[in-house]
């Protein structure tokens, strides 16, 4: 997508007058959240990029938004408001153009990401209760807990 093609969408986004960015909405829009790819490559908390819900080789924000069968039921309401094209540019365009679309995307993100985070917390709790913690050699110890916020 060229800068000229993005310009009108950015202008509409800035001037929209509706919608507030939430924590879960930003996770989906940025790809930085409970997604296998992010947890593996960036956070280093997963051994693979696999989707825990459906077993797909790569769990990304786009996979969660448009493809993962675990979220089909939640996605129905989203598709009704936004349309069949759930690519990120199309979703952002729909959000910028309509308060109804914004609310549908926000609702989907809140519902799905809350469930993904709860599953991740359960997995972390299970691993921490069964694994022997070893200090990493050569790295500074971090004073805070790396777990997800409550």
Number of Cβ within a 10 Å radius of residue 89: 12
Q: What confidence score (pLDDT) does residue 128 get?
A: 66
Averaged pLDDT for residues 49-77: 96
Task: List pLDDT tens digits, range 90-140.
Answer: 999 999 999 999 999 999 999 999 999 999 888 887 766 655 444 444 454
Number of separate domains in the chain? 1
Q: With bands split at pLDDT 50, 70 and 90, how would you rate the model's confidence at 150?
A: low
- CA–CA gap between residue 23 and residue 135 (Å, rounded): 31
In a domain, 135, yes or no: no
In a domain, 15, yes or no: no
Q: With bands split at pLDDT 50, 70 and 90, how would you rate the model's confidence at 75?
A: very high
In a domain, 92, yes or no: yes
In a domain, 106, yes or no: yes
Q: What confidence score (pLDDT) does residue 14 get?
A: 85
Residue from 51, 27, 22, 55 nearest 37 by CA: 51
Domain that holds residue 101: 21-130
- pTM attached to this predicted model: 0.78
In a domain, 150, yes or no: no
Task: List pLDDT tens digits, range 12-52.
Answer: 888 888 999 999 999 999 999 999 999 999 999 899 999 99
In a domain, 78, yes or no: yes
In a domain, 72, yes or no: yes
pLDDT surpassing 60 at residue 62: yes
Averaged pLDDT for residues 72-81: 95
Greater confidence (129 vs 57) lies with 57
In a domain, 123, yes or no: yes
């Amino acid at each position: 997508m060229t800068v000229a093609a993005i310009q009108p969408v950015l202008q509409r986004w800035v001037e929209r007058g509706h919608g507030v960015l939430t924590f879960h909405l930003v996770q989906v829009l940025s790809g930085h959240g409970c997604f296998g790819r992010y947890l593996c490559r960036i956070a280093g908390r997963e051994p693979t990029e696999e989707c825990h819900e459906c077993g797909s080789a790569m769990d990304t924000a786009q996979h969660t938004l448009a493809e993962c069968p675990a979220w089909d039921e939640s996605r129905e309401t989203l598709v009704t408001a936004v349309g069949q094209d759930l690519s990120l540019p199309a979703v952002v365009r729909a959000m910028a153009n309509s308060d109804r679309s914004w609310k549908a995307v926000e609702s989907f993100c809140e519902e799905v990401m809350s469930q993904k985070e709860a599953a991740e917390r359960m997995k972390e709790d299970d691993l921490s209760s069964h694994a022997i913690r070893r200090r990493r050699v050569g790295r500074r110890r971090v004073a805070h807990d790396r777990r997800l916020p409550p």
